[in-house]
């Protein structure tokens, strides 16, 4: 190298000398003219040890000029000076150290054991790696998005830290054929996860496991066997719309679209709807919504804003006997019920569209209709009692219902008229 | 050369702006680096001037000597230093991916520092061209030094590199300020 490149003190040795001394000269106080710095070597370099084990280390000084002594040298570990009774002068140029019952390393880059000159300057160092071998990873769970990929998560072996950097590798292979493959995209859904983006076969089982390795050893999880079709999940239903049902103050209608990615296969999709009042954290869940893409929520509070979400489970896809995995909830959609004086108890099931003679919401709806009729039509004497009479009559004469449409007990046809109270 | 002549003032001004910008982040790089190596490196106020790398030119120089340098020498020394720094920063980044694998912030900062050093090298080459000065040859500054270093040696090496990166950036600001005064816009 051209001498002009350097400052005043040029390093002379340029032939390739033995590697270790060259490194030390390069790193640790390369002698600059007039400074007469000492160099030293610590042994062992970068040892790996089990927690609780002991270590014997030495710091050997080479002086420039020669004749440097081990007098005045001292040790620090992670910046803290070690008690002198742990050190011993072995010979004129070597200081020894005896450490016992080592604790786990403070940082993954290793504990810094340093040999200092009398004036505190760093002469040499060694990184200690103290820890435990990894434990068997557990709780592997996997899911496939739309049968295209596979994401797996696992938990590192239980009992806390190994204190050493532990590398996890997710492996998989077809159960009855082929080589081991290694997953390559890590940390996709948390620190212990991996994503296999493609080239996965359906209708045939895979074996999946996780290998954990660190400086002290390795461990392998139990093998999980699965068929991609048994762990399918999908996107949340798109286009969730929530709207009022006419003027009904206690109902909202929810509509959605079947997730498009699986639309050709979702013969038995299940859905779940959850809804809550705007300023509450309690969700009500409507379960077991099978194969529909709409639902009517009833028993809601009038004049209230509701948030609604829907999710999908691709149940029994391609004839799989297992339930799939629920998708994420759709983005919350909000809607408000119309204002009114009445309120009712909570729902829990979708209201049927047709209006069978069930209790609660339909009766309420009917009451509202009758009330409206009284105001706007010439049916001043309509009442709920009349309706109940009609229902009772309907049940008794169900055999003749088809013949006698619209005929009331009093024998009149058409809409109700006349005194009914 | 066939390209239209660039004014020295412009290239010097650009380089100066870049050096100033780099200067704002050099101490953060050093601090971040030290944090990840553990004590004593991460101790507040850590300083070990006795640690040096012979493959990196020293940034400090006697004032009179430095002041008396001619433009070519001044830039040539700075270029040599930043060339060495880009190579050493790559080495340190490789070392740290091994020593501190879960440290994206540190690795990103090392990568950014290296990119900026390369940028400054480019700007200085432009100044050389604008002043009609010969370009110094590019050299492999690392040679045999790199391989086989122990973990502690690598930690020390990264400290020296990030420290000297700061020192050379400070010097580059002063070098370029001198040039800026000499070739005003």
pLDDT tens per residue across span B62-103? 899 999 999 999 999 999 999 999 999 999 999 999 999 989
Residue A30 is nearest to which of B54, B147, B153, comparing CB atoms?
A: B54
Chain B positions in Cβ-Cβ contact with residue A109 (cut-off 8 Å): 36-38, 99-100, 151, 155
CA neighbor of A45 nearest in space, from A128, A132, A122: A128
Mean pLDDT of B124-149: 83
- The sign of the torsion formed by the CA atoms of A365, A368, A374, A376 equals negative
Q: Which residue of A has its CA nearest to B66?
A: A7
Residue A27 is nearest to which of B42, B58, B157, comparing CB atoms?
A: B157
Longest dimension (CA), chain A: 130
Position B136 scores a pLDDT of 83
**Assigned token pair, A129:** 């790696």
DSSP sequence for A350-399: PPPSS--S-STHHHHHHHHHHHHHHHHSS-TT--HHHHHHHHHHHHHTGG
Position A174 scores a pLDDT of 94
Q: Which long-range contacts (CB under 8 A, 24 or more apart) does A222-227 make?
A: A222/A136, A222/A138, A222/A140, A224/A140, A224/A142, A225/A175, A226/A142, A227/A202, A227/A203, A227/A320
- The Cα angle at residue A331 between residues A329 and A334, in degrees rounded to 5: 115
Q: Do B52 and A4 touch (CB under 8 A)?
A: no
Kindly give the pairing relationship between strand A193-196 and strand A185-186.
Answer: antiparallel
Give the separation between CA A9 and CA A34, rounded to whole angstroms: 10
Q: Do B39 and A78 touch (CB under 8 A)?
A: yes
Question: What percent of chain B is modeled with pLDDT above 70?
Answer: 95
Position A253 scores a pLDDT of 92
Question: What is the predicted ipTM?
Answer: 0.89
Chain A positions in Cβ-Cβ contact with residue B51 (cut-off 8 Å): 27-29, 122
Position A18 scores a pLDDT of 44
Residue B100 is nearest to which of A20, A32, A108, comparing CB atoms?
A: A108
Q: Each residue's pLDDT tens digit in chain A (421 positions)?
A: 333 333 333 333 344 444 444 334 334 333 222 234 568 999 999 999 999 999 999 999 987 656 667 888 999 999 999 999 999 999 888 999 999 999 999 999 999 999 999 999 999 999 999 999 999 999 999 999 988 899 999 999 867 688 999 999 999 999 988 899 999 999 999 999 999 999 999 889 999 999 999 999 999 999 999 999 889 999 999 899 999 988 888 889 999 998 888 877 766 788 999 999 988 899 999 987 887 889 999 888 888 899 999 999 988 777 777 788 999 999 999 998 888 655 445 555 676 554 444 455 666 777 777 777 766 665 556 666 676 666 666 666 654 544 444 444 444 444 444 444 3
Average pLDDT, rounded, for chain B: 92
Q: Which of B46, B50, B157 is the best mutation test for A, with the most CBs of A within 10 A?
A: B50
Question: What percent of chain B is modeled with pLDDT above 90?
Answer: 78
> How far apart are the CA of A7 and the nearest CA of chain B, in angstroms?
6
CA B173 to mean position of chain CA atoms: 11
pTM recorded for the entire structure: 0.71
Residue B150 is nearest to which of A32, A109, A126, comparing CB atoms?
A: A126
CA neighbor of A132 nearest in space, from A99, A105, A170: A105
Q: Which residue of B has its CA nearest to A22?
A: B145
Position A360 scores a pLDDT of 58
A9 DSSP assignment: S
Interface of B with A in 1-30 (CB under 8 A): none
């Amino acid at each position: 190298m051209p001498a002009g490149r350097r400052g005043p003190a040029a390093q002379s040795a340029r032939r390739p000398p033995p590697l270790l001394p060259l490194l030390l000269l390069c790193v640790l106080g390369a002698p600059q003219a007039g400074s007469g710095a000492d160099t030293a070597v610590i042994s062992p370099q970068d040892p790996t040890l089990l927690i609780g084990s002991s270590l014997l280390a030495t710091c050997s000084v080479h002086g420039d000029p020669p004749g440097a002594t081990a007098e005045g040298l001292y040790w620090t570990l992670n910046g803290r000076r070690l008690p002198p009774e742990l050190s011993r002068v072995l010979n004129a140029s070597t200081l020894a150290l005896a450490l016992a019952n080592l604790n786990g390393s403070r940082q993954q880059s290793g504990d810094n054991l340093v040999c200092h000159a009398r004036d505190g300057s760093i002469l040499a160092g060694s990184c200690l790696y103290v820890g435990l071998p990894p434990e068997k990873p557990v709780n592997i769970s996997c899911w496939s998005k739309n049968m295209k990929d596979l994401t797996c998560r696992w938990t590192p072996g239980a009992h806390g830290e190994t204190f050493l950097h532990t590398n996890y590798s997710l492996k998989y292979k077809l159960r009855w054929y082929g080589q081991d493959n290694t997953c390559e995209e890590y940390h996709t859904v948390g620190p212990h996860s991996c994503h296999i983006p493609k080239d996965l076969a359906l209708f045939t089982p895979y074996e999946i496991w996780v290998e954990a390795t660190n400086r002290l050893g390795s461990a392998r999880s139990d093998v999980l066997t699965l068929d991609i079709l048994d762990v399918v999940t999908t996107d949340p239903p798109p286009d969730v719309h929530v709207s009022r049902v006419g003027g009904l103050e206690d109902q909202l209608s929810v509509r959605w679209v079947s997730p498009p990615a699986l639309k050709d296969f979702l013969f038995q999709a299940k859905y779940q709807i959850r809804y809550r009042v705007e300023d509450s954290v309690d969700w009500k869940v409507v379960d077991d919504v099978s194969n529909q893409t709409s639902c009517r929520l009833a028993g809601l509070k009038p004049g209230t804003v509701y948030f609604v979400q829907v999710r999908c489970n691709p149940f029994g896809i391609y004839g799989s006997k297992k339930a799939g995995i629920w998708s994420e909830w759709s983005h919350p959609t909000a809607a408000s019920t119309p204002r009114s004086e009445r309120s009712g108890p909570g729902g829990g099931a979708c209201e049927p569209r047709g209006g069978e003679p069930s209790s609660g919401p339909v009766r309420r709806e009917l009451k509202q209709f009758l009330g409206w009729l009284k105001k706007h039509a010439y049916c001043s004497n309509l009442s709920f009692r009349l309706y109940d009479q009609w229902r009772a009559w309907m049940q008794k004469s169900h055999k003749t219902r088809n013949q006698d449409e619209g005929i009331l007990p009093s024998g009149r046809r058409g809409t109700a008229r006349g005194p009914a109270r | 050369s066939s390209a239209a002549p660039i004014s020295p003032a412009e290239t010097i001004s650009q380089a100066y702006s870049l050096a100033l910008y780099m200067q704002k982040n050099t101490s953060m790089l050093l601090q971040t680096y030290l944090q990840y190596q553990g004590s004593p490196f991460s101790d507040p106020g850590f300083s070990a001037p006795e640690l040096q790398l012979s493959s990196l030119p020293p940034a400090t120089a006697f004032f009179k000597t430095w002041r008396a340098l001619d433009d070519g020498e001044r830039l040539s020394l700075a270029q040599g230093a930043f060339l060495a720094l880009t190579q050493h920063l790559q080495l340190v980044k490789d070392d740290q991916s091994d020593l501190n694998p879960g440290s994206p912030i540190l690795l990103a900062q090392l990568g950014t520092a290296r990119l900026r050093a390369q940028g400054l090298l480019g700007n200085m080459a432009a100044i050389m061209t604008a002043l009609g000065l010969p370009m110094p040859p590019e050299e492999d500054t690392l040679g045999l030094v790199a391989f086989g270093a122990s973990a502690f040696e690598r930690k020390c090496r990264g400290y020296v590199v990030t420290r000297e990166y700061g020192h050379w950036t400070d010097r580059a600001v002063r070098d370029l300020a001198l040039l800026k005064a000499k070739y005003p816009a």
